A and B are shown apart, each in its own frame.
Chain A
Amino acid sequence: MSHSFPSEPWTAAFADAVNANEVYRKHGAPWTYGAVAMVCSADPSLGLEEDVGMILDVDRGACRGAKLVKGMDAVMDTPFVIVAPYARWKQVIRGEIDPIKAMMEGKLKMTKGHLPTMLRFVESSRALVTSATAVPTTFLDE
Chain B
Amino acid sequence: MEPSIHLAPRAEENGYAVMVAQLLRQGLDERTAKKSTLAKMHGRVTLVVTDLGLTVTMVFDGGRVVVHDGFAGIPDVTVRAPSEWHTKMSLVELEPRLGLPDPRGAVTKEVLEASKRGEIQMHGMWTSLPLVLRMTKILSVA
CB < 8 Å neighbour of A116 from B52, B83, B86, B141 = B141
Is A100 a contact of B83 with CB atoms below 8 Å?
Answer: yes
Is B19 a contact of A104 with CB atoms below 8 Å?
Answer: yes
Q: 14 interchain pairs (CB within 8 A)? A: A103-B15, A104-B15, A104-B16, A104-B49, A104-B52, A105-B52, A106-B14, A106-B16, A106-B18, A114-B26, A116-B23, A119-B90, A119-B91, A119-B141
Residues of B within 8 A of A110 (CB): 22
Residues 89-107 of A contacting B (Cβ, < 8 Å): 100-101, 103-107
Is B19 a contact of A116 with CB atoms below 8 Å?
Answer: no
* Nearest CB on B from A9, distance (A): 31
Interface secondary structure of A, over-half rule: helix
Residues of A within 8 A of B26 (CB): 114-116
CB < 8 Å neighbour of A105 from B27, B54, B91 = B54
Residues 15-70 of B contacting A (Cβ, < 8 Å): 15-16, 18-19, 22-23, 26-27, 30, 49, 51-52, 54
Count how many chain B residues have C-beta atoms less than 8 Å from C-beta atoms of the other chain.
22
Q: Using a CB–CB distance below 8 Å, which chain B residues touch chain A?
A: 13-16, 18-19, 22-23, 26-27, 30, 49, 51-52, 54, 83, 86-87, 90-91, 141-142
CA distance in complex: A116, B51 (Å): 22
CA distance in complex: A103, B52 (Å): 11
Besides A104-B49, A110-B22, 10 more A-B contacts (Cβ < 8 Å) are A104-B15, A106-B14, A106-B15, A115-B19, A116-B26, A116-B30, A119-B23, A119-B91, A120-B91, A122-B87
